[in-house]
Amino acid sequence: MARHRGRGMASINYPIGMNLGGDPSQALVHSNPDGKFTVTLSAIDLGQGMKQVTRQIAAETLGVPISDVYVDTADSDTGPHDMGSFASRGTHRVGNAVMAAAKEARGVMMEAAAEELEVNAADLETDGRGNIHVRGAPSRAIAVKDVAIAAQFRQGKTIAGRGIFLIPLSEVNAETGEMSPVSCYAHACLVADLEVDDETGEVTMLKMTSAYELGRAINPKMVEQQLVGGAWMGMSHALYETPEPYYPDIAHGPRDFNEYVMPGPGDICPHDIAVLERPAPDGPFGGKGPGEMCANPVLPAVANAIFNAVGVRIDELPITPEKVLRAIKAQGGARPQGLPGGRR
Amino acid sequence: MLEFRKEYFKDERDDRLNEVGQPRQRQDMLGHVTGRTRYFDDHAFEGLLHLKVLRSPHPHARLRSIDVSAAERSPGVKRVIRAADVPVNKNTLLSLINFGKDDEPLLAVDKVRYKGEPIVAVVAESEAAAYDALEKIRVDYDPLPAVFDVEEAIKPGAPVVNETYPANTFEYHEKYNHQKLRFGDVERAFAQADFVLEERYQMSPIEHAPTETNGSIAAPETNDRIVVHTCTQALFFSLGTAAKLLDVPSNRLHFIGGTVGGGFGGKVDSLTEPLSILGAMLTGRPVRYVLGREEEMLYGCPRGAERHYIKDGVMRDGRIVARKIRSYFDAGAYTRLSSYGAVKCIAHVPGPYTIPNVHADSYCVFTNRTPATAMRGFGITGLDFSLEVQMDKLAHKVGMDPMEFRILNAYRDGDMKAHRREAHNCALIECVQVAAEKANWPVREEYRRMSSLTGGGGERAVIPATATDEAGRIGTGRPAGATTPPPRAPATPVPPPPRVPQPVAAQPRVAPPARPAPPPAPPPPSAAPPALREQPKPAAPAPQHGATRFSSVFGTRRR
């Protein structure tokens, strides 16, 4: 009886946004008289940070500091239509809608600034700190706040913008499946290191090492929270969770978190992550979205690592100790395969 | 630990931005960490009533009679809501995008199709009073045979779960009981492959397990509107669903949400809003309907189970030459979103690899279990598990390192995907290279030098001559895919495909080098003959009927 080290990997890609498109998002952006901006959405923040991602996209597009932008969501009386927060569509779809709305608002702001400075709007640029100045002549400047006051009270302009983003719905061919499912994909590869106890069938995660490519990382800290949390969820799916442990038998349904088995804090392992950014040609600043896909590579990587550790293939999720133990017994004991690379 | 590898794809990015790419603190962080963020259930209303539902104890049963008289007299009860009280008591979630037929009542009529299906709702002064009243409802059930396994459900003679789809399968294109993917000729490629491996994979349902369970509070406003505080993941989706079921103009509903205590896909189905709104309309008072933890876990729509059969043909040098997949999505008793997930799965086949011959059938099957819904990775997670375990087995079979095996078969910019669109913006190879490097997993130099940017396209962009079939036509008996592979020739060739299936070029059986010399990667072995390469992609088969745009996308026009 022993604990066996194992190592496995998997690589995946993931479609961004609703399959086949046809899932519009809208956004409104407006300035108050002090040059502070509100983004109005009906999109939902599930905790993943949709508000903050769209806030940074709006601030970047407007050319103002992040502190001058707040995102308001979601009220069906004020926020324009959005399909919903699912299918990894927040950053890509809502982000693009916000970018379009912010561009329109920026256009009005620059026209208003041009009128105040008596120059051509095309010659103006924002400094990202709340000022607008003539390109190459920073001293010929006006604060965004003063532009907003002038637009509102002198010029009679509304510094506001509307945005929508839509990938038109694709048809699907009945005979061949020909279709345009999505416009971009995120990518990942993950290595799982673990131990399998051949006496109990229990699997202990030791480490995860990964590379995720997710387009432009709009906020690197929030990318980290998504990847760390998502990979943990994948690990939980791989080894613990199901309301139907003997599927397709519906018996043994859990009623609470005592009966629905999930890993606890002590089961979490270190996760060493590399992020690659290949911008999506049609993403906001190249953003794709790390939301759903970060969990996916963990499941097969864990299954493959268990094979590497003890030589059994578990092709049914979740990979419970019972399944591992039964498979080891059926095989007549653990058969470690040797850690990858070690064979050469 | 997290690091950015900015050296990759640096020519495609401008990294000199002010806000994008910066680790700014979230605008909602302070509220979250101090516990002051308001969720839907943090809204207090004077005179709030509570709604609870009676759920079926049987997975499949006819409802002979329902007696609510004692419940109506129960202390604190303000209203008992029966199926007849629901203005439009039949819906399918995706009717909002014109996909599929209405197949699910808000409250069961005539029969129940899963254990836990709502039958009657009670609105009372307290949750305890509502629960007491539920116990006084008398339902006379006539239990029916139930079916729980997807492949059992599509066999002849299986109990009919949902009469809207009497064959227990969702109908695609008003023609087939599954969605097809056909690219090249897998049978010919299998015959020429050095190894063929066929395996079965299974994913059980899982629960979203959000901290905050599904729920909503609906309250009459003074202006003849209803305000609804909800944890929905899709504000207008839920608003539209409620407006349809309750037959009210959408602008009489004022939905407020936006901050959710965990969703993961489990808060798209609008499980509670229609009943809390109906309760508010019928009583004139605010009504709160929140699922308990047990309800959330057992009846709050899980991630559905999936079963995938994968058959691959691979050459000794590691090139995969054919991949055939049969997928079953277990929808449970009603469609919800599973029909859509099955198509998303087809779009994902054969994974992020360039394989010259691909064949897939994806079924959405009805069984007597809690209706499934979307969850993180919907349509993809179960397939990716299956594909990547299969990839590991294939690498083992041909004696290749699994990292190098992935890199060899990875899709690259310019390659043709099985759904007949060119790949671009690829980065799988780079992810594998970086993960291997970080994990000190040795990968040989020639594989470390490969790139998603080069070696793709050309012969890898060719759409091969494709064998199509008419297996699984609706109305011609039970599906062919259930137990036997579909026949290659059309069983009822009406009308025939507009082009003649062409033989696929023979596999080059000449022994390739033990390891292919990169870059570029070896061309797919079954690339079409030169004459064919110049042809434009084959025309799509003639339409079978005057289908609308929507029905041609998803199958069945909404009725």
CA dihedral B229, B234, B238, B241 (to 10 degrees): 170
Question: What would the mean pLDDT of B225-229 be, rounded to a whole number?
Answer: 98
Chain A residues within an 8 Å CB radius of B115: 250
With CB atoms and an 8 Å threshold, state whether A52 touches B28: yes
Å from A314 to nearest chain B CA?
A: 9
If asked whether residues B384 and B446 sit together in one domain, one would say yes
pLDDT, position A342:
52
CB A324 within 8 A of CB A306: yes
Close Cβ partners of A185 (under 8 Å, ≥ 6 residues apart)? A13, A14, A15, A16, A288, B352, B425, B426
Residue A92: DSSP 8-state:
I
What CATH number did the domain enclosing B415 receive? Answer: 3.30.365.10
If asked whether residues B326 and B199 sit together in one domain, one would say yes
Q: How confident is the model at residue A1 (pLDDT cuts 50, 70, 90)?
A: confident
If asked whether residues B411 and B371 sit together in one domain, one would say yes
Chain A residues within an 8 Å CB radius of B262: 46-47
Residue of A nearest to B467 (CA): A176
pLDDT, position B96:
84
With CB atoms and an 8 Å threshold, state whether B439 touches A8: no
The strand ranges marked E within B422-461 are: none
- Mean confidence (pLDDT) of chain A: 96
Q: What percentage of chain B carries pLDDT values higher than 90?
A: 84
Q: Is the dihedral of CA B456, B462, B467, B471 positive or negative?
A: positive
- pLDDT, one tens digit per residue, over B153-180 is 999 999 999 999 999 999 999 999 999 9
If asked whether residues B259 and B194 sit together in one domain, one would say no
Residue B161 belongs to some domain of the structure: no
Instruction: Report the SS3 class of residue A168.
Output: coil
Residue B155 belongs to some domain of the structure: no
Residue B237 belongs to some domain of the structure: yes
Residue B39 belongs to some domain of the structure: no
The answer to whether the A3-16+183-331 and A25-165 domains have the same CATH topology is yes
Å from B431 to nearest chain A CA?
A: 5
Close Cβ partners of A107 (under 8 Å, ≥ 6 residues apart)? A161
What's the CA gap between A61 and A283, in Å, rounded?
13
If asked whether residues B252 and B121 sit together in one domain, one would say yes
Residue B437 belongs to some domain of the structure: yes
Question: What would the mean pLDDT of B277-297 be, rounded to a whole number?
Answer: 97
If asked whether residues B544 and B527 sit together in one domain, one would say yes
Tell me which residue range forms the domain holding B134.
49-144+209-299
Q: What percentage of chain A carries pLDDT values higher than 70?
A: 99
Residue with tokens 């609510």: B68
If asked whether residues B221 and B358 sit together in one domain, one would say no
Question: What would the mean pLDDT of B223-252 be, rounded to a whole number?
Answer: 97
Residue B22 belongs to some domain of the structure: no
Residue A235 above 60 pLDDT? yes
Task: Report residue B323 as tokens.
Answer: 């991949």
Å from A217 to nearest chain B CA?
A: 6
Residue of B nearest to A169 (CA): B553
- pLDDT, one tens digit per residue, over B322-331 is 999 999 999 9
Q: How confident is the model at residue B536 (pLDDT cuts 50, 70, 90)?
A: very low
Q: Which of B277, B299, B321 is the last residue of a domain?
A: B299
Residue B535 above 80 pLDDT? no
Question: What would the mean pLDDT of A294-319 be, rounded to a whole number?
Answer: 98
If asked whether residues B291 and B426 sit together in one domain, one would say no
pLDDT, position B98:
85
Considering only the beta carbons, identify the residue of B367, B430, B553 that sits closest to A171: B553
With CB atoms and an 8 Å threshold, state whether B297 touches A171: no
| Domains of chain A by residue range | 3-16+183-331, 25-165
With CB atoms and an 8 Å threshold, state whether B440 touches A341: yes
Å from A111 to nearest chain B CA?
A: 22
Buried b (16+ CB within 10 A) or exposed e, A206-227: eebbbbbbbbbbbbebbbbbbb
Question: What would the mean pLDDT of B391-407 be, rounded to a whole number?
Answer: 98
If asked whether residues B227 and B373 sit together in one domain, one would say no
Question: What would the mean pLDDT of B203-207 be, rounded to a whole number?
Answer: 96
Residue B542 above 60 pLDDT? no
Q: Which of B299, B334, B350 is the last residue of a domain?
A: B299
The mean-pLDDT minimum among B240-249, B334-343, B484-493 falls in B484-493
Q: How confident is the model at residue B520 (pLDDT cuts 50, 70, 90)?
A: very low
- CATH topology for the A3-16+183-331 domain: Aldehyde Oxidoreductase; domain 4 (3.30.365)
pLDDT, position B477:
55
**What are A287's strand-pairing partners?**
A215
Considering only the beta carbons, identify the residue of B374, B386, B540 that sits closest to A178: B540
Q: Which of A83, A178, A268, A343 would best serve as a mutation to test chain B binding (most B beta carbons within 10 A)? A: A178
The strand ranges marked E within chain A are: 3-15, 25-31, 37-40, 69-72, 124-126, 131-134, 137-143, 160-165, 185-197, 203-213, 271-276, 316-317
Higher-pLDDT residue of B422, B479: B422
Chains A, B: CB pairs < 8 Å = 456
Q: Under the phi-then-psi rule, with left for phi > 0, alpha for psi from -120 to 50, and beta for the rest, what region is B9?
A: left
With CB atoms and an 8 Å threshold, state whether A11 touches B544: no
Q: How confident is the model at residue A74 (pLDDT cuts 50, 70, 90)?
A: confident
What's the CA gap between A257 and B260, in Å, rounded?
20
Å from B302 to nearest chain A CA?
A: 8
Residue with tokens 């011959």: B357
Instruction: Report the SS3 class of residue A276.
Output: strand
pLDDT, position B222:
87
Question: What would the mean pLDDT of B202-225 be, rounded to a whole number?
Answer: 96
pLDDT, position B251:
96
Residue B482 above 60 pLDDT? no
What's the CA gap between B350 and B416, in Å, rounded?
12
Residue A314 above 70 pLDDT? yes
Q: Which of B299, B327, B345 is the last residue of a domain?
A: B299
Q: How confident is the model at residue A341 (pLDDT cuts 50, 70, 90)?
A: low
Residue B91 belongs to some domain of the structure: yes
- Quickly list H helices, B39-185: 69-72, 127-135, 150-153
The mean-pLDDT minimum among A173-182, B46-55, B251-260, B544-553 falls in B544-553
CA dihedral B378, B379, B384, B390 (to 10 degrees): 150
If asked whether residues B528 and B480 sit together in one domain, one would say yes
pLDDT, position A55:
98
- CATH topology for the A25-165 domain: Aldehyde Oxidoreductase; domain 4 (3.30.365)
Residue B556 above 80 pLDDT? no
If asked whether residues B435 and B333 sit together in one domain, one would say yes
| Neighbour count for residue B115 (Cβ, 10 Å) | 21
Residue with tokens 């199709």: B113
Higher-pLDDT residue of B235, B524: B235
Chain A residues within an 8 Å CB radius of B434: 189, 211, 274, 276
- Mean confidence (pLDDT) of chain B: 88
Q: Please tell me the total number of residues recorded for chain B in this structure.
A: 559
Inter-axis angle of helices B273-283 and B235-246, to 10 degrees?
50
- pLDDT, one tens digit per residue, over A248-287 is 999 999 999 999 999 998 999 999 999 999 999 999 999 9
If asked whether residues B328 and B286 sit together in one domain, one would say no
Å from B28 to nearest chain A CA?
A: 8
pLDDT, position B486:
41
Residue B9 belongs to some domain of the structure: no
Q: Please tell me the total number of residues recorded for chain A in this structure.
A: 344
Structural domain tally of chain B?
Answer: 2
In order, the DSSP letters of B150-184 are HHHHTSTTPPPS-TTSTTSBPPBTTTBSSEEEEES
Å from B275 to nearest chain A CA?
A: 19
- pLDDT, one tens digit per residue, over A127-168 is 999 999 999 999 999 999 999 999 999 999 999 999 999 999
Q: Which of B384, B403, B426 would best serve as a mutation to test chain A binding (most A beta carbons within 10 A)? A: B384
pLDDT, position B496:
37
Residue B485 above 50 pLDDT? no
Chain B residues within an 8 Å CB radius of A277: 4, 6, 8-9, 13
Pairing, β B111-112 against β B61-67: antiparallel
Question: What would the mean pLDDT of A321-330 be, rounded to a whole number?
Answer: 98
Question: What would the mean pLDDT of B198-213 be, rounded to a whole number?
Answer: 97
Residue B11 above 90 pLDDT? yes
With CB atoms and an 8 Å threshold, state whether A56 touches B20: yes
Task: Write down the pTM of the prediction.
Answer: 0.91
With CB atoms and an 8 Å threshold, state whether A189 touches B435: yes
